[in-house]
Structure 1
Amino acid sequence: MSEHRVSAPQVAPGEKVKGPASYFPSIEKTYGRPIQEWLDLVVERLDAAKHMEVVAWLKEEHSLGHGHANAIVAYVKAALAG
């Protein structure tokens, strides 16, 4: 069993990723933190806040761009719903 409520996707070499996870390599490169750290932060926040509140928090507190913040929150919400 995973230690994370939402785990980062495992991408096979050469596999084309679609949807919110397609932003993850750029997010890691731009902000210098593994995507799993961002996912864990967002899981905690989504327990008490709405989607756009978490997006705003990522933008304000961590200086993420809107698209990157939204991709992380959307990925986490989909994983928790599924």
Structure 2
Amino acid sequence: MTDKAKGPASYFPSIEAKYGRPIAEWQSLIRARQPAKHMELVAFLKQEHGMGHGHANALVAATLAEG
């Protein structure tokens, strides 16, 4: 039995499928824009990559939580 992803990571499979890049690549883009505020990073993903708000927010939250 496999554990189902919870929290922001639960969006990762649909993010990869919809936007065609692995999560590690998205996280690298986010880290490259540090330091920045959470919502600035969300806006970057939405404006520059056409990502929806929920997906962008989940990616930023998970990436920032890693430290």
Q: TM-score, length-normalised on structure 2?
A: 0.93
User: Could you say which structure has the larger radius of gyration?
Assistant: 1
Q: Are residues 1:41 and 2:20 paired?
A: no
Which one has a larger percent helix, Structure 1 or Structure 2? 2
Q: Are residues 1:76 and 2:63 paired?
A: yes
Structure 2 CA distance for aligned equivalents of residues 62 and 17 of structure 1: 24
Q: TM-score, length-normalised on structure 1?
A: 0.77
Q: Which runs of 5+ in 1 are unaligned?
A: 1-12
Deviations 1:23-71 (A, max 9, x none): 00000000011111001111111x2311000100100000000000000
Q: Are residues 1:53 and 2:40 paired?
A: yes
Deviant stretches of 4+, over 4 Å: none
Percent same amino acid at aligned positions?
63
How many residues align? The count is 67
Aligned residue number for residue 6 of structure 1: none
Q: Which runs of 5+ in 2 are unaligned?
A: none
